[in-house]
A = this chain, B = another copy of it.
Amino acid sequence: MTTPRSSPPVASAAATINDVAKQAGVSIKTVSRVMNNEPGVRPDTRAKVLQVMTALRYRPSQSARSLAGARSFLIGLLYFDPSAAFVSRVQQGATMRCREAGYHLVVESMDNDAHDLGEQVHRMVSTLRPDGMILTPPLCDNPHVLKALHDSGTPTVLVSPARQRKDMPSVRMDDVHAAEEITNLLIGLGHRRIAFIRGAADQAASALREQGFVKAMKAARVEIAPELVIDGDFRFEAGVAATHQLLKLRHRPTAVFASNDDMALGVLAAAQRQGLAIPGDLAIVGFDDSPASSLVWPPLTTMRQPTMAMARTAVDLLIGTPTVEGTPGTRTSSAMQRVLAHELVVRDSTAAPTRPARRAPHA
């Protein structure tokens, strides 16, 4: 044996529903009623049972409940790589909410490109019978995954899906609105030549963030110079490349809005390397509030996604808990589509332009 099991067991066998029933002088059915908070038990009977449960440190067996009943008290979280930071926060929110509600979170990392993805999902669902599944991008838009889940009848909620589906609830933030807000910060500071670096073309957030940028610029009647809108892919290197391109321009931008923090970090690094002072010579904003965004100098102004709150809400949707009232900024476009509030995080990478806008920099 390679495990501590071989050391002398200190605990006696765990108490079962039978032990509790015997001690409390009732039937197991009554014990069952008490632990499931069912009505129809006399208060003093309930109290007695509860007391015995505590004394015996009784914990119902997940397996037995699951096998006999309709619930497994298991929630599944499926993810594929994306940013470790994102998944990590989704998971933390989900695991906390699960514990509060007496559920447990089973986490499975999947390969979005696996040929047998549908089969993998089917296997997980049919052996574990989770009471619900939470999907994060890009899996929440993968047709094989969605089909397997739909076919098995497993309740599923999508976190930040590219496309909403009427048959599956979703939780997301408002990318368009958030991008508008952070653009307005720049405009309000006095910037007029603002560059925009796009996200990866295959990710839904990219188009939404660009829409928000465009909307804010138009509303403020600020011209969007075509040479200041550059393709990116959410990676650091794309930010570096975009910056090289932007700084070659005769008419340079005074501010850059990168569609995520990793690219904003690339802009910061490349600009500083060319001797620009940030934010004086160039203001920079990112998106995500990734851990790295505050591990540089100056720390990045960015947009915080309500990641943990989205995860908690996802769990609530699955287990039927009414969403905590008073959750700030929660909107409901339909019964099942939740939009949570984002938060602008202003740090030190933004300031008013020091050179007058619309003037070419001295060569």
Contact = CB atoms under 8 A, between A and B. Distances in A.
Interface string A82-117: 001101110110011001000011111100000000
B153 A5 contact: yes
A11 B152 contact: yes
B4 A155 contact: yes
Contacts of A107: 91, 95, 105-107
A177 to B, nearest CB: 26
Contact of A84 (B85, B127, B168, B317): B85
Nearest to A73: B127
Interface string A1-37: 0111101011100100000000000000000000000
A116 B124 CA distance: 32
Interface of A: 2-5, 7, 9-11, 14, 57, 59-64, 66-67, 72-74, 84-85, 87-89, 91-92, 95-96, 99, 104-109, 120, 122-124, 126-129, 132, 150-156, 167-169, 236, 240, 262, 265-266, 269-270, 272-273, 291-292, 294-297, 317-318, 320, 335-336
A295 B236 contact: yes
Contact of A153 (B9, B88, B236): B9
Contacts of A106: 74, 104-107
A67 B61 contact: yes
Contacts of A108: 95, 99, 104-105
Given A4-B150, A89-B84, A297-B270, A128 B155 contact: no
A296 B105 CA distance: 35
Contact of A4 (B63, B153, B236): B153
B67 A95 contact: no
Contacts of A265: 295-296
Contact of A318 (B3, B85, B87, B167): B3
Q: How many copies does the complex hold?
A: 2
A261 to B, nearest CB: 8
A29 to B, nearest CB: 19
A240 B297 CA distance: 10
A11 B63 contact: no
A198 to B, nearest CB: 19
A284 to B, nearest CB: 14
Contacts of A292: 291-292, 295-296
A151 B10 contact: yes
Contacts of A91: 107, 109
B272 A61 contact: no
A4 B156 contact: yes
A297 B272 contact: yes
B236 A122 contact: no
Nearest to A60: B127
A152 B66 CA distance: 22
